Structure 1
């Protein structure tokens, strides 16, 4: 009897390897950290520019605005051009912007440089779709999770690193050190990162218009975007007011203590590759359902821990694992929707994601002033409930289509 035919192994990109994934993770982490370096430096900015102290808040605000703008106008280019070339060009622009920030003679120059830093730091939004392109379908969740772990570590540890460098060397040294890191990264990219394969030939204007069409045509993309945005809103609600909680009774801790919680939150980043593997094996929807439950549990823990550091630590670990694992699973889903438009699909998703974060920060301030820590926890639960509603409504729609 002839032997049964063996299944063909999944097609692998010739440059897909663990080393390439970790290089993409490093690119994502180093680039995105530049968005958060300035947050612990506001008092230093105030001391350097006393005549413009009332405008200090515009520095982090312009960086966040720049990042949103960069996602909208730069991230879609990954479908049209070689991502390796785009990463190198953005690294060059990032290095130049950091030099201007480090030498800024006035606050206005620092604000303008911060806007530029935000725009070109969207390199991470080329790295994550690049990983999805390189990986075979059966390993896509793991690949995305690996690169996202680097991005999340960059987000969570940026404040800690920035505060440490500024304390001993001054705030300008923070931007100077990032210049050297950016140049070193560009050298490694030239030597080790493969080229990507463009999948679109649309002119730039039509690329941007296609973002609207992708969102309008895909219910799954809209659902993932709303779910992810609501979970990031919950995440931002907590982190936006943690410093205020720690400054009051009974803790009396400074902002550096809140920065150290970022190290605790790194557990979520380290769990990202595991979340990607679970999404590959069990399906992303199952993982997202579990994650929404974890985020809800974290806010219950926070509500019971208004006077307990150990309780806050446990809540941070649960919150970060839930939010980051859900992010990996959501991105694993959307990258499978339109392989030829991964950068644009990612743009739609990430713009919604950061809008959710901005709304969460605003809600946190209102809740804190209206009801204190209890109000913050209720706002976090409300955002989590919205994520649950979006996710389970989408799951019910998918089950209905399957039965039909």
Structure 2
């Protein structure tokens, strides 16, 4: 499509957008001038679905009326509440129902999975991860490596871009995997790098890891609800994700887990056991001897977090109602492409503003990271004053994430206008000094 940098063109795209009505299903914050803000922080915290409050209130009502019997009585049936999330979660990440479960929080789930799937032995002990991964992943891997008696500096191999580049090339990742070969125990990357917005080729990375005998897993915090995933078909071993970013399930929301079906009947796998992961048919016999549930459910520790899961269920329903990830991805590619266009039209030279997220839509989700070489913080604050809510990352990156469920093309046009206004002020500044 040939884009135009005009408000009429943006509104025309909005009028043609089959997902335009979903914006009204969310609460949008207000800008200083009283208009709806341009909210582009869905990669940090998604907006509140209007259905969220009623979903939680329904569980408060069940608690009020039924107390402990709410575990067994309609409409709540808390005993099986987590199971109501399974089908939608499986669709979300391209999995079979037995391969997914919703539980805990992201880093807790990452640790639980690493206990099972990072099993160093002999020469095969090294871990490959992206350099500059989100700190939670770095800390989790450091501690897991130490649990096995290794030193992180000797064990964790970090992938870094080529000199002068900001993102990783798939062939370089594959080559590093091949070079490590029999020393490599685990490949663990983010599905999308939080800082650059680069989306990795998970299928290719999984194939390369398996070819040398390594286990392959992913932290999908920035990929779930953002990319069209096919974890089962890609043969990924394990993955986990949060639900409070692109899945709009509330701050500190619950987390999802994927464990490939080939591990469904593997009670021998080491794991940290909990009562809720025990065979449900005999769970209430309260006997010794852990016997895991088949599939991902066997990694559960405790019973469902009802209130966070109530929000998540309401949010997942919106994804399905919108047509699933295929529909969201179609709009996302167009919306992010339009953002790239208006930023390029804003008049800032490359030595001032550089988009470090890949230009190839296949290598990015709905985030562009702007590396601002001069007065980046001033630009961030300039946009905020004009009702454009972006995300600042030290030392000089502004992240913008137009989310297809609630962002509009007019939102994106307003961002371009904000950056263009700052560009004009920057150009005029020397003459005024």
Q: Does TM, normalized by the shorter one, top 0.5? A: no
Comparing both structures, which one devotes a greater share of its residues to helix? Answer: 1
TM-score, normalised via structure 1 length: 0.26
TM-score, normalised via structure 2 length: 0.24
Whose radius of gyration is greater, 1 or 2? 2
